[in-house]
C-alpha cells in the first residue's frame, strides 16, 4: 500500500483518479477491514457457505455460490437446523482462531460477543487474548500485510486457512451445509476447489505461500490484544499486527480531546508533536454511539512526522483498515466515569503491547508511584461532572442502554 502524505496530491484530476480506482468494483473493502473480516467470521462460524467469504464480485463464481445458498437454505429447513445448532461455543472459538490468523478487524471483538449474547452466553474478551498468544498469523493481507483481500480468496480463502490451522480447530462443528467443518473441507479438496482458484492467483505471478504463509515459517502470533491497566480496568483492544515493532512499547505525554473532531483538527493543523499519546474520549457506546475514529487515524498515518511515533487511545472504535498504535474500546468509557475521563494533558502514558498493559505512569511529565497516581485520580474523580447527554430518539435509546464495548456494546 503506497503512503500518500500531505501535499502529495496536486490536482483535482489526481483526486478524481484515486476516486475512480480506489474501489474499482462493487463489494467489500480491498483490505481486511470490518466488512471483509465479518464475511470471514460468518464463514468461520459455519454460518456462510465454505469458500464464500471474500469472493470477488466480478467473477462468475459468485452466481454459483448464490445458487448454492438457496439450496442450502432449503436443506436447513428440511433438516430443521437452526442458528443455535451452528453458533456453539466451539464455533465461536474457531472463529477467533481464524480472526487471529487473518489479521481481522478489532470490530469483530464487538460483533462476536454481541452475537454470542443473543444466543444466551457471554464471550469473554480474554479468550481473544489467550488464543492470539498462540495462533500463527499466516495471512499477508493489508493492513497487517501486503496484499488486497481478493488475493486471499484466490489463494484458497478461509477454507485454506482452516486447513492450515486444522490442529487448532474443532472440525466436528455443524455448519450451514448440514455437514461438519471437516466434511466441508474434504468436499472442497475432492472437487478441486483449491486447484481451481489458484489459477486466478497465477495471473498475478504469485504463489499461495505469498498470501498464506506456511505455519512453520510464521514468526508473528495472533493479531489483536486485550490491554488492561489503570486506564482500562475492563480492557481495551489493539491490532498489533498492524503496528510497527518499535511502537510496541511507548511512554509519552497525554494530549486529551473530548471528541474526534477536536483531535482531528489538532492533527491536521500541526498541533500534535511526535511522541504524544492522544486521547479521544466520550466516543464510547454510551457517549456517542461508538463511531469509528478513521478520520483521525488516517490523518496521523499519512503524516510522516507522526505516523511512527504517536499513539491514539479512545473509548470509541476504529476502522478495520486502521494501522499504527491505535488503542480502542477503552472500558469503562468516559461518559460513565471510567478512568479515561480523568486523564489530563501531560500525564505520562505507557503502552506495553508485549505485556498487555495500558497505564498512567506519571503526572505532569514526572514518573509517580501507583499509589500517588491512584490518589490523584480519586481527587480528579470528585471534581468530574458527567457531560450533558444530547442524543435524542432512537440514538438516545441506544446510548442510554448500551453495555461496555468489551462486552459487545449491545443494548441491555
Residue ranges and CATH numbers for the domains of the chain are 12-217 (no CATH), 225-407 (3.50.30.80)
Whole-Å CA distances, 223 to 103, 247, 291: 5, 15, 22
The stretch 154-164 carries a mean pLDDT of 97
Tell me the pLDDT band of 307, cut-offs 50, 70 and 90: confident
- Report the pLDDT value the prediction gives residue 188, as an integer from 0 to 100: 97
Write down the H helix ranges in 155-274.
Answer: 157-164, 181-190, 193-202, 208-211, 260-268
Neighbours of 120 (CB within 10 A): 7
- Report the pLDDT value the prediction gives residue 1, as an integer from 0 to 100: 36
Residue 254: HSE in the Cβ half-sphere, 13 Å Cα cutoff? 29
DSSP letters spanning 327-339: EEEEES-GGGT-G
The stretch 81-107 carries a mean pLDDT of 97
Distance of alpha carbon 192 from alpha carbon 189, whole angstroms: 5
pLDDT digits (tens, 9 = 90+) for 4-59: 455 667 788 888 887 777 766 666 678 888 999 999 999 999 999 999 999 988 88
Neighbours of 59 (CB within 10 A): 15
The stretch 151-165 carries a mean pLDDT of 97
Instruction: Point out the residues that are catalytic.
Output: 319
Residue 3 has pLDDT above 90, yes or no: no
Q: For residue 367, report the phi and psi dihedrals to the nearest 5 degrees.
A: -60, 140
Distance of alpha carbon 397 from alpha carbon 45, whole angstroms: 30
Site of grid cell 504463489:
207
Distance of alpha carbon 266 from alpha carbon 309, whole angstroms: 16
Site of grid cell 454511539:
289
Amino acid at each position: 500500500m503506497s503512503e500518500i502524505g500531505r501535499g502529495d496530491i496536486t490536482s483535482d484530476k489526481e483526486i478524481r483518479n484515486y476516486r475512480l480506482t480506489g474501489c474499482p468494483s462493487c463489494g467489500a473493502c480491498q483490505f481486511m477491514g470490518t466488512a471483509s473480516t465479518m464475511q470471514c467470521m460468518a464463514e468461520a462460524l459455519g454460518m456462510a457457505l465454505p469458500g464464500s467469504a471474500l469472493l470477488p464480485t466480478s467473477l462468475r463464481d459468485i452466481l454459483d455460490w448464490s445458487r448454492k445458498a438457496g439450496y442450502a437454505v432449503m436443506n436447513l429447513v428440511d433438516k430443521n437446523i437452526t442458528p443455535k445448532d451452528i453458533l456453539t461455543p466451539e464455533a465461536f472459538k474457531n472463529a477467533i482462531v481464524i480472526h487471529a490468523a487473518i489479521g481481522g478487524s478489532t470490530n469483530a471483538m464487538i460483533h462476536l460477543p454481541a452475537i454470542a449474547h443473543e444466543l444466551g452466553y457471554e464471550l469473554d474478551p480474554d479468550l481473544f487474548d489467550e488464543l492470539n498468544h498462540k495462533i500463527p498469523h499466516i495471512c499477508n493481507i493489508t493492513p497487517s500485510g501486503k496484499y488486497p483481500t481478493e488475493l486471499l480468496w484466490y489463494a484458497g480463502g478461509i477454507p485454506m486457512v482452516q486447513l492450515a490451522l486444522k490442529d487448532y480447530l474443532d472440525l466436528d462443528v455443524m455448519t450451514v451445509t448440514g455437514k461438519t467443518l471437516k466434511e466441508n473441507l474434504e468436499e472442497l479438496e475432492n472437487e478441486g476447489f483449491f486447484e481451481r482458484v489458484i489459477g486466478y492467483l497465477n495471473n498475478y505471478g504469485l504463489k499461495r505461500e505469498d498470501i498464506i504463509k506456511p505455519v512453520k515459517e510464521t514468526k508473528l502470533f495472533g493479531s489483536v490484544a486485550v490491554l488492561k491497566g489503570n486506564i482500562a480496568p475492563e480492557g481495551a483492544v489493539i491490532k498489533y499486527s498492524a503496528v510497527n515493532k518499535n511502537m510496541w512499547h511507548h511512554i509519552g505525554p497525554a494530549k486529551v480531546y473530548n471528541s474526534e473532531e477536536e483531535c482531528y483538527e489538532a492533527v491536521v493543523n500541526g498541533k500534535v508533536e511526535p511522541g504524544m499519546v492522544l486521547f479521544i474520549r466520550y466516543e464510547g457506546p454510551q457517549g456517542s454511539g461508538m463511531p469509528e475514529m478513521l478520520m483521525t487515524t488516517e490523518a496521523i498515518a499519512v503524516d510522516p512526522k507522526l505516523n511512527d511515533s504517536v499513539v491514539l487511545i479512545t473509548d470509541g472504535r476504529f476502522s478495520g483498515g486502521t494501522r499504527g498504535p491505535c488503542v480502542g474500546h477503552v472500558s469503562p468509557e468516559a461518559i460513565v466515569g471510567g478512568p479515561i475521563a480523568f486523564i489530563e494533558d501531560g500525564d505520562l502514558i505507557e503502552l506495553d503491547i508485549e505485556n498487555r498493559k495500558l497505564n498512567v505512569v506519571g503526572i505532569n511529565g514526572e514518573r509517580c508511584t501507583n499509589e500517588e497516581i491512584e490518589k490523584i485520580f480519586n481527587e480528579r474523580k470528585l471534581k468530574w461532572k458527567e457531560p450533558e447527554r444530547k442524543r435524542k430518539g432512537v440514538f438516545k435509546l441506544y446510548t442510554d442502554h448500551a453495555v461496555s464495548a468489551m462486552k459487545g456494546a449491545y443494548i441491555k
